[in-house]
A = this chain, B = another copy of it.
Amino acid sequence: MMEIALAQLNYHIGNLEYNAEKIIKKIKSAEKLGADLVVFSELSVCGYPPADLLEFDNFIIRCKEKVEYIASHCNKIHAIVGAPSFNPEIKGKRLLNSAFVLHDGKIVSSYSKGLLPDYDIFDEYRYFQPADSFETIKISNKEIALTICEDLWNINERPLYVSSPMDKLVMQNPELIINISASPFALGHIKNRKKVMAGNAANYGLPLINVNQVGANTELLFDGGSLCVSSDGEIINELQYFEEDFAVIDLAEINKQDKPVSNTNLEKPSLLYNALTMGVKDFFNKQGFKKAIVGLSGGLDSALVLVIAANALGAENVWAILMPGPYSSKHSVDDAKELAENLNTPYDIIPITDTYNTLLKTLEHKFINTSFGTAEENLQARARAIILMGLSNKFGYMLLNTSNKSESAVGYSTLYGDMCGGLSVIGDVYKTDIYELANYINKKGIIIPENTINKPPSAELRPNQKDSDSLPEYEELDKILKLYIEEKIGKSEIISRGFRSKTVEKVLSLVNYSEHKRYQTPPVLRVSKKAFGYGRKMPIVAKY
Which A residues are within 8 Å of any B CB, using their own CB? 12-15, 18, 47, 49-53, 55-59, 89-94, 118-119, 123, 125-126, 158-163, 216-218, 282-283, 286-287, 348, 350-352, 354-355, 358-359, 361-363, 366-367, 370, 373-375, 378-379, 382-383, 385-387, 389-391, 393-394, 415-416, 420, 422, 488-490, 492-493, 516, 519-523, 534, 536-544
Contact = CB atoms under 8 A, between A and B. Distances in A.
Contact of A370 (B90, B382, B394): B394
B359 A373 contact: no
Contacts of A354: 358, 361-362
A330 to B, nearest CB: 21
Contact of A162 (B49, B92, B125, B348): B92
Contacts of A415: 389
Contact of A59 (B91, B534, B541, B544): B544
Contact of A379 (B352, B373, B390): B390
A359 B350 CA distance: 11
Most buried by B among A118, A217, A282, A521: A118
Nearest to A90: B158
Given A12-B543, A94-B158, A375-B390, 5 more contacts: A13-B543, A57-B488, A91-B161, A374-B393, A382-B385
Nearest to A388: B416
A507 to B, nearest CB: 15
Oligomeric state, in copies: 2
A163 B92 CA distance: 9
B393 A536 contact: no
Most chain B beta-carbon contacts within 10 A, residue among A386, A393, A537 = A386
Given A218-B539, A539-B49, A541-B282, A389 B394 contact: no
Contacts of A386: 359, 379, 382-383, 386, 416
Contacts of A382: 385-386, 389
Contact of A387 (B12, B18, B363, B385): B363
A161 B92 CA distance: 4
A85 to B, nearest CB: 15
Given A12-B542, A394-B375, A490 B58 contact: yes
A86 B331 CA distance: 56
A389 B416 contact: yes
B375 A492 contact: no
A373 B358 CA distance: 23
A375 B522 CA distance: 20
Given A123-B537, A355-B362, A93 B160 contact: yes
A84 to B, nearest CB: 13
B534 A160 contact: no
A163 B361 CA distance: 67
A352 to B, nearest CB: 8
B416 A393 contact: no
